[in-house]
Amino acid sequence: MATIRDVAKTAGVSVATVSRIINNKGEASPETIARVQQVIQKLHYRPNSIAKSLSKRRSNLIALLIPTLKNPFFPELVREIEASANQKGYHIFLCNTDDDRNKVKYYLDSILSHYACAAIINSLYVESKDLEMLESHGILTLTIDRAQFNHPYSAISVDHKTGASKAVSHLLDQGCRKIIHLSGPKDQMSSIDRLSGYQEALNAFNPDLPQKVIYANFDLFSGYQSIQSLIQSSFLFDGIFCSNDALALGAMRACLEAGFKIPDQVKIVGYDNILFSRYVTPSLSTISQHMKEMGTLAITEIISLMQQPNAKPRKIRIQPNLVIRESSTQLRRNHHE
């Protein structure tokens, strides 16, 4: 594997000259530039990005801390953030924390040792002192949605209360009057906000309507098991609003196995608009968090902060929208909606 010294020796110039030509810095004659570029092509030389990072104590790596890869929402979000980063010439250093504080600490150390230029954080187990530590080392930070605390740095959040209200209002418009809320863990802010939206929509429509909340984990099995147990208890319901699509897909499976017709007897709305939601049968009505927009906004904001040192951090609020499909209405719609 050719080194910069090999290029310099073959081209008959100094290592410093080759470095300046590669980085488009300094002056060299057109003949020298052409000769060095020919040698680079001949030797198939590629600059060592690791060595460059070590010498500059900075890289083009943007760390991305996520809570889990089990929830389909997060791999899709990673893909959108990575695509946006790659378009801008940056690479993503993926840190799957599994919502484990010890893994968070491990990755925080790794971010420092890899000389990441920025960190995008979506984790309940990152604390305000962690952001302060990264920022003190010159690593710009941005949180996405799951931060459980206020901080002075850039943040992107989703108006989950409004999203939940839209989902429940839609079920009410479709004639549901016994709507269950299948919530995520009760101590998570996104669960709290979605529960608030559920309650607000029901109370605004008719405060006498029954309200039932079932807490579960954000996964398929929890959705399936929770609704299966509810059905076995003979509890009556005609609508389910789920805190994410994984829960909704599990709930849908439990209802279908019990002989319920969807949407004739039970109508279901999820939350996230993951790819799977479009292709299950019936296709799943859901709330879109605009993942593509979120990924683009995250990278744009981070790069803006890097390029403008005096730029002030921004708090960006995304408004979710309702995507109506077959699980909540008699209208048959395009699966690709």
For residue 72, cis peptide bond before it (omega within 30 degrees of 0) = no
pLDDT on residue 58: 59
pLDDT on residue 213: 98
* Contact status, residue 273 vs residue 325, Cβ threshold 8 Å: no
Nearest one of 315, 134, 314, 327 to 247, comparing CA atoms? 327
The span from the CA of 82 to the CA of 233, in Å, is 45
* Contact status, residue 118 vs residue 63, Cβ threshold 8 Å: yes
Residues of the chain whose pLDDT is less than 50? 53-55, 333-337
Q: Which two tokens stand for residue 326?
A: 């077959």
pLDDT on residue 52: 53
Residue 278 makes CB contacts below 8 A (sequence gap 6+) with: 284, 325, 335, 336, 337
pLDDT on residue 294: 95
pLDDT on residue 310: 83
pLDDT on residue 59: 73
Q: Tokens 């002056």, residue?
A: 27
Q: Coil, helix or strand for 119?
A: strand
* Contact status, residue 145 vs residue 122, Cβ threshold 8 Å: yes
* Number of H-type helices and E-type strands within the chain: 13, 12
Q: Tokens 């590669």, residue?
A: 22
Hey, what domains does the chain have and what are their CATH numbers? 4-47 (1.10.260.40), 57-158+291-319 (3.40.50.2300), 160-289 (3.40.50.2300)
pLDDT on residue 304: 92
Q: The whole model's pTM is what?
A: 0.81
Q: Coil, helix or strand for 270?
A: coil
Indicate the helix (H) or strand (E) that contains 53: helix 49-56
Q: Tokens 């996405």, residue?
A: 144
